[in-house]
Amino acid sequence: MIAELERALQGDPSAGLVGSPVELAWAFARLVGAVALDHPSALPQSDLDRLLARAVEVTVDDPATHAWVAGVRIELLLRRERWAAVLEIGWPLLDDEQVDPTYRAPIAVGVAVAARAAGSLAEADRACERAAELLAERPGSLPQLELSLGLQRCAIARLRGLMDVSARHWAALALIAADSGDAGLLAQVAEERANFLLAAQQHDRLDDHVRALLEQPDTAQFPATASALRLVQAISLGVRGAQDSDSQERSMALLVQVEEDPATRPTDRRLARLRLATAQARQGRLDLATRSLESVRASADGPLPRSDEAQCARLEAHLGRRLATSPAELLGVLERTDAAFDRFLEALTSDPPRPGGLGFLQFEEHRGFVGELIELLLAVHGPERGADLALDRIHRLQATGSRARLAGYVPGTVEELRGTLLAEGQGQLIYLPTAVQTHLLTVDAAGTRHHRLPPIGRLHELRARFQQAFAPDRAARAWTAQAARLREALLPQDALERLLEWRAVTVIGLDLVRYVPFELLPLEGGELLGEVLDLGYLPSLSTGMRLARRPARPDRGGRLALVVAPTFDDPLLEAIPLDDAVLERLLGGATDPLVLSADEAGLAGLAAAELEQRDLLTIVTHGRFDRLRELSSGLALAAGPDGPSTLWPEDVPTIAPLPPVVVVAACKAARSAARMGEGGLDGLIGALIDGGASCVVVAHEDVEYAALLELLEVLQPRLLTGEVSVARALAEAQQALRARRPETPAAALLHAYGLVHRVR
């Protein structure tokens, strides 16, 4: 019948079919479409491609049929993972206003799928927006398509490292899929959940999730989904397990199973092969890894997605470094890897900045690629020059962050970094963890040194053990042993010896390791690191340079603005224990202090306070956290007649410009959604820095408010004199509090962010 219709379309009377060209074209297109969707094996693939192309061509004057057939062709191309062809066909149809939205909406979702799979997230975003507009014209008419669109948005957010945004999308989708009762939709949502847990490094939860799904009979109905779940499980095992562990053996066995499974999707098979090649390289089977990598490259239809390309570039750098037989060959490998790094930065900056940042180092493949580049720099240029060049690459990478780009920051040289951010006796610790090892750079005015630490999986394990033992109100003996093991991993002996030559240190890139209170890490003699060094934190090198380039602020003579003990409208918030005697001590040393308390301690009072005329702003309240907000950390304030009772990061511009130093004395005020690589700048810290503060003192954990007020009685006068740095003043205040409360040294633990080692 298809052959007869095709002959009739060409004007052959022997076909014996009568009808107008449009009628014949419609019948031909519908029949070819039915074969393509329901019986694709009935025709050779080449014939099916040709017939679908012909069907699209002959229906060009009938917009509805033309769009329907094009949609069938796009569906077939999506199944074959021909992403470039989908984009070429789909975009013109989306811009054709003559085509009914009912037909264009599924095409838009298909284009989003192809763009995401091809690694063009900006293009995928655009297609999602178009699909949403088209679906809005027919609300509720295509519920399954709305769910498919939601899955794409969930995946796009995940691929950008926006784990909080992805989690919100997924939660809504899970409810919709559960209500539908459709096993296919439930399988898709469950698969995306597994990918989310992998990206979020929640490996134990991922393992439980995948095991439960694979044991369900319904999962067997969808063999491609089952294979994808095994792939995610294999990747998780490979990332978190030591190189010679049972986890690695299980990972490789699963990867082989996925690669050999005929139900595996082509993209998943390629990724399994790529992961196998990486494992083979780690085992020293370099020739086999090289052949596997060549197979991965050859199987790609067009450019690889960003994450796959990063893995390929990482493996190529590793193999090139291991197989090079001369300095010239090694230099060639470095030049190719550096070129890939430049392309990587270009791809990162193609994504629009977000208010909460972009987690561009959220993923191991990105960090691992940079780690291989560092190894090449050290191998080609030697330990000293190589370490300096590694510092340069990390600086350039951090400068692609949302905050840096929004501020128009242009990275300078390593020499400028040192001259601007480091005085005599000061140093920096810069961390870049990967699954193979963690790279640590120790930097001071004399130069840069590179140190190798345990892999990120081991650091996370040690950190988790410390967190289980630690609580701010617990005696030090409960957590000191775990803190010591964590210190040994984070500061190997050669790094520790250099660290102890300094009087002040700034920790950079700690968000990649996750929160660790360096002040509480014990030395061999029993002293805590915060007792022998002035400690501060910088979200990134680019943040430090941006702060250093700001014009100098005039000294206001020790003028203080104190916001304390607001009247809370939430009955769950306990009142701050403030009396006249405590308040008098808090104001000691202040010139012309401004106090906002009770009902005055609200946004309106802060906005009217002319805070830029002050040297110090201290806010004593409770922290708030809302997972549904992209900028998720806030401060409880007094509610005004019409105003809100919380200061969120987006509200900070209404009270800016801020004083150079801001102390946020509130429990867990530094909490924020995890955007690894943006240095935690997606919460209050980033907003306060952008609002004019050069230093922000803040708590990551719960605090005991009586102890916190005792700390402030010592800290504020030292800050107001301007005679010592913020880090030194905070260290003195913490030591004074520990002298009074030796059993609980973390009862009121605050950390200093920004340019904290400068004296006003």
Query: For residue 94, what pLDDT is reported?
Result: 86
Residue 756: count other Cβ atoms within 10 Å of its Cβ.
25
Whether 717 has a pLDDT exceeding 90, the answer reads yes
Say which residues have a Cβ less than 8 Å from residue 232's Cβ, sequence separation at least 6: 191, 194, 195, 198, 206, 210
In the chain the domains, ranked by start, together with CATH numbers, are: 553-754 (3.40.50.1460)
CA distance linking residue 448 with residue 427, whole number of Å: 10
The identity of residue 107, as a single letter, is: I
Query: For residue 22, what pLDDT is reported?
Result: 64
Answer with the residue of higher pLDDT: 593 or 9.
Answer: 593
Contact 671, 627 (CB under 8 A): no
Q: Provide mean pLDDT across the span 719-729.
A: 95
Q: How sure is the predictor about 244, in pLDDT bands with cuts at 50, 70 and 90?
A: low
- In the chain, the percentage of residues whose pLDDT exceeds 70 is 91
The identity of residue 338, as a single letter, is: D
List, in sequence order, every residue forming a beta bridge with 559; answer none if it has no partner.
591
Q: Provide mean pLDDT across the span 636-659.
A: 88
- In the chain, the percentage of residues whose pLDDT exceeds 90 is 55
List, for residues 59-69, the tens digit of each pLDDT value.
777 777 777 77
List, for residues 511-520, the tens digit of each pLDDT value.
888 889 999 9
Query: For residue 698, what pLDDT is reported?
Result: 95
Query: For residue 480, what pLDDT is reported?
Result: 94
Contact 398, 525 (CB under 8 A): no
CA distance linking residue 714 with residue 737, whole number of Å: 9
List, for residues 661-705, the tens digit of each pLDDT value.
999 999 988 877 666 666 555 578 889 999 999 999 999 888 999
Say which residues have a Cβ less than 8 Å from residue 280's Cβ, sequence separation at least 6: 286, 288, 289, 292
For the ranges 201-205, 242-246, 354-358, 510-514, the lowest mean pLDDT is seen at 242-246
List, for residues 18-35, the tens digit of each pLDDT value.
667 667 766 766 776 676
CA distance linking residue 758 with residue 549, whole number of Å: 14
Does residue 562 sit in helix, strand or coil? strand
Q: Provide mean pLDDT across the span 739-760.
A: 91
Contact 508, 372 (CB under 8 A): no
Whether 8 has a pLDDT exceeding 70, the answer reads no
Query: For residue 575, what pLDDT is reported?
Result: 86
Q: Provide mean pLDDT across the span 552-580.
A: 88
CA distance linking residue 691 with residue 684, whole number of Å: 10
Contact 432, 371 (CB under 8 A): yes
Query: For residue 429, what pLDDT is reported?
Result: 98
Q: What angle do CA 349, 756, 449 make, to 5 degrees?
A: 65
Whether 617 has a pLDDT exceeding 70, the answer reads yes
List, for residues 388-413, the tens digit of each pLDDT value.
999 999 999 988 888 888 888 999 99
Question: Phi first, then psi: what are they for 746, rounded to 5°?
Answer: -110, 20
Query: For residue 243, what pLDDT is reported?
Result: 56
Whether 614 has a pLDDT exceeding 90, the answer reads yes
Give the H or E element holding residue 177: helix 163-180
Does residue 428 sit in helix, strand or coil? strand
Query: For residue 404, what pLDDT is reported?
Result: 87
| Side-chain half-sphere CA neighbours of 510 within 13 A | 19
Whether 15 has a pLDDT exceeding 70, the answer reads no
The identity of residue 191, as a single letter, is: E
For the chain, helix (H) and strand (E) counts, in that order, are 31, 14
CA distance linking residue 444 with residue 422, whole number of Å: 6
Give the H or E element holding residue 369: helix 364-398
Whether 262 has a pLDDT exceeding 90, the answer reads yes
Instruction: For tokens 């004199």, name the residue.
Output: 721
Q: Among candidates 574, 554, 531, 565, which has minimal Cα distance to 614?
A: 554
Q: Among candidates 619, 622, 591, 621, which has minimal Cα distance to 696?
A: 619
List, for residues 76-113, the tens digit of each pLDDT value.
888 888 888 899 989 988 888 877 788 888 999 999 99
Answer with the residue of higher pLDDT: 554 or 331.
Answer: 331
Bond into 657 cis (ω within 30): yes
SS3 content of the chain, % helix, strand, coil (to 5): 60, 10, 30
Whether 615 has a pLDDT exceeding 60, the answer reads yes
**Torsion region of 719: left, alpha or beta (phi above 0 gives left; psi -120 to 50 gives alpha):** alpha
Average pLDDT over the chain, rounded to an integer: 88
Whether 241 has a pLDDT exceeding 70, the answer reads no
Whole-model pTM? 0.88
List, in sequence order, every residue forming a beta bridge with 654; answer none if it has no partner.
none
DSSP per-residue codes, 453-470: E--HHHHHHHHHHHHHH-
Query: What would the two tokens of residue 299 be?
Result: 């199987």
Contact 198, 206 (CB under 8 A): yes
CA distance linking residue 675 with residue 655, whole number of Å: 26
Query: For residue 613, what pLDDT is reported?
Result: 94
List, for residues 457-515, the tens digit of each pLDDT value.
899 899 999 999 998 888 888 999 999 999 999 999 999 999 999 999 999 988 888 88
